[in-house]
Amino acid sequence: MGADFIQASSLAALSGIRHAFFTRKGGVSPGIYGSLNAGLGSNDAPENVRENRARMAAALGVADGHLVSCFQIHSPDVIVAERPWTRETAPRADAIVTRTPGIAVGVGAADCGPVLLADGEAQVIGAAHAGWKGAIGGVLEATVAAMEALGARRERIAAALGPMIRQASYEVGPEFVAQFTAGDPDNARFFVPSPRAATRSSTCPASSPRGSPAPASGGSRTCGCAPMPIPSASSATAAPRIGASRTTGATSTPSPSCPERECPRGPRRAGRHRLS
């Protein structure tokens, strides 16, 4: 059984580019990691993760070990991949771009927004992990700029936003909203008032698609992907794992959990909102 995945029509239409948003099906991991866990930093057995990643690489048409991902830190930092690296030498960043045939690049997410980008004519691809910190910090703009430096043209870049947490499951406090509206008052359109009592305290709920229960601890799922225009930092939010590969190709893979959860903690005060 091969790795199970879904695709975005905007990227599937590009010649010479392969991409995938991998689901949790088609791997060998048991329990909460069942079954296609690609998380190098998880507590899953290393041999299971290696086999799962090999299956993902095969689905993308690249050699085993040529699907690369970085150590994600919720930053706007972008890495150019010219050759494979190991877990031990993985760079600290939140986006990867490449124009090297035979390299697959990927990012992982639990709540955060996984974004795949590609310029089919230039054969330049990118994958970005866009949580709210990275989004407001400019990780998507930085990814597009890095692709342009490799020969891509902004007007030719197609992008797809993968499965991520939805507004109904992401409650935030007024101080969170203020961070976005301080930079651009128009960002207020991404928030709606919370229906919860203003005095009630809570923490950010676990990642889950709208209307669905959250996965067990340590797990994540993908539930679809949507074509989107080149995104802005203000419109990206939190979500699951993604990757891109180039045979040329692009790929996205959900991982069991984001390396560092960015769930805003603490009591929610009057004026709570939900992030769109």
- Is residue 252 domain-resident? yes
- Is residue 199 domain-resident? no
22: domain range? Answer: 5-194+226-259+271-275
- Is residue 215 domain-resident? no
Average pLDDT over residues 233-247: 34
Q: How high is the pLDDT of residue 71?
A: 95
Q: Identify which has the larger pLDDT, 265 or 88.
A: 88
pLDDT in tens, 166-214: 888 888 999 999 999 998 999 999 899 887 755 443 333 333 333 333 3
- Is residue 207 domain-resident? no
Average pLDDT over residues 72-88: 96
The whole-angstrom separation of Cα 259 and Cα 247 is 27
Q: How high is the pLDDT of residue 169?
A: 87
The whole-angstrom separation of Cα 140 and Cα 238 is 13
Q: List b or e across 9-29, with b for residues whose CB sees 16 or more CB atoms inside 10 angstroms.
A: ebbeebeebbbbbbbbebbbb
Average pLDDT in the chain:
77
Give me the CATH number covering residue 97. Answer: 3.60.140.10
- Is residue 132 domain-resident? yes
The SS3 call for residue 71 is strand
- Is residue 205 domain-resident? no
Average pLDDT over residues 87-97: 96
1 pLDDT band (50/70/90 cuts)?
Answer: confident
- Is residue 211 domain-resident? no
- What is the number of other CB atoms lying within 10 angstroms of the CB of residue 193? 10
Average pLDDT over residues 211-235: 29
Tell me the C-alpha to C-alpha distance, in Å, between residue 33 and each of 5, 50, 126, 219, 255: 16, 13, 26, 6, 9
**Containing H/E element for 60?**
helix 46-60
Q: Which amino acid is at 266?
A: G
- What is the number of other CB atoms lying within 10 angstroms of the CB of residue 264? 16
Of the candidates 157, 153, 166, the residue with the CA atom closest to the CA atom of residue 238: 166
The whole-angstrom separation of Cα 184 and Cα 197 is 28
The SS3 call for residue 95 is strand
Lowest average pLDDT, out of 86-95, 107-116, 122-131, 194-203, goes to: 194-203
Q: Identify which has the larger pLDDT, 78 or 229.
A: 78
The whole-angstrom separation of Cα 268 and Cα 103 is 44
Instruction: List beta partners, residue 207.
Output: none
Average pLDDT over residues 49-57: 96
**At a CB cut-off of 8 Å and minimum separation 6, what does 202 contact?**
171, 196, 267, 268
Any idea what DSSP says for residue 168? G
Give the chain's domain count: 1
- Is residue 113 domain-resident? yes
**Containing H/E element for 147?**
helix 139-149
